Amino acid sequence: MYKVIYDEFYDMKDKTKHVYQKGDIFPFDNRKIPQKRIEELSTENNKIGVPLIEKIKE
């Protein structure tokens, strides 16, 4: 499970265009997200250039 750490964004590869706010759970509907996409969103290797999500430590 991941937590949004960026103020506001939507996953451009998600057809729903769901808007995530800082503190939200990613993904909002518990669907399976490919590991490559998780890596893009959790590092600066995305269009915004900063990490957008982080793994929630249990």
Q: Identify whether the C-beta of residue 5 lies closer than 8 Å to the C-beta of residue 48.
A: no
pLDDT of residue 58: 72
Confidence at residue 24, expressed as pLDDT on a 0 to 100 scale = 97
* pLDDT tens by residue, 44-55: 999 999 999 999
- Are 11 and 19 in contact by the 8 Å Cβ rule? The answer is no
Rounded to two decimals, the pTM is: 0.91
Residues 18-31 as b/e (b if ≥16 CB within 10 A, e otherwise) read: eebeeebebbeeee
pLDDT of residue 14: 92
Q: Decide: 1 and 54 in contact? Cβ < 8 Å.
A: no
Q: What is the pLDDT of residues 1-28, one digit of tens each?
A: 999 999 999 999 999 999 999 999 999 9
Q: Which residue has the tokens 């995530």?
A: 20
